[in-house]
Amino acid sequence: MDAVVQALGLNATLVAQVFNFIMLLIFLRIVVYPHIVRILEERQNYIENNVAAAEEERKQAEALRQQYLADMQKAKDEAREIIQQATKAGEEQAREIIEAAKAEANRIKEAAMQDINREKEKAVAELRDQVATLSILVAGKIVSEKITADIQRGMIDEFIKEAGDLPC
C-alpha cells in the first residue's frame, strides 16, 4: 500500500484528511441530516399551510366583497324606490292641493257672482224706486193736481215695466 501511496504522491496527512472528511460525512448523514430534513419539511409544511390559509382568506375576502357589493346594490335599489315613492306622494299631494285650490277658487267665484247678482238686483230695485219717485215728482209738476194717485201709480208701474225691460 505504501507503494500505491507513493506512486500517487499521497502523503499520510492527506489520507488522514480524506479519512476524517469521510467520517464527517457519515456523522453528518446519520446525526445532522435527519434533523435538517425534518426542519426543512416542517418549514415546507408551514409555508404550504400559510399559502393555503392565505388562499382561503382571499376567497373569504372575495365572498365578503361580493356580499358588500350586493348589499350596496340592494341599498341603492331601496333608496331609488323610496325616492320614487316620495316623488309620487309629492305629485299626488301637489295634485290634491291644486284641486283644492281650484275648488276654492270656484267657490269664491260663485260667491262673488252671487254677491254681484244681489248687488245688481239691489241697484236695479233702488234705481226703480228712484225712477218712481222722480216720475211721481215730474208727473205731479206737469199735471199738478189733475191726476189722481191711482192714475199716477199705474203710470209709474208701466214706466217701471218698460225700464225693467231695458238692459242694465
The pLDDT tens digits of the residues spanning 87-144 come to: 999 999 999 999 999 999 999 999 999 999 999 888 888 887 777 777 777 666 666 5
Q: pTM for this structure?
A: 0.42
- pLDDT of residue 162 exceeding 80, the answer is no
Query: What digits encode the pLDDT tens for the residues 13-59?
Result: 877 888 999 999 999 999 989 999 999 999 999 999 999 999 999 99
Check residue 89 and give its pLDDT: 93
Query: What digits encode the pLDDT tens for the residues 47-75?
Result: 999 999 999 999 999 999 999 999 999 99
Query: What digits encode the pLDDT tens for the residues 95-104?
Result: 999 999 999 9
More confident residue, 84 or 143: 84
Query: Quick check: 5 and 15 in contact, CB under 8 A?
Result: yes
Check residue 24 and give its pLDDT: 94
Check residue 11 and give its pLDDT: 76
First to last CA, the chain: 162
User: Of 86, 90, 110, 109, nearest to 98 (Cα)?
Assistant: 90
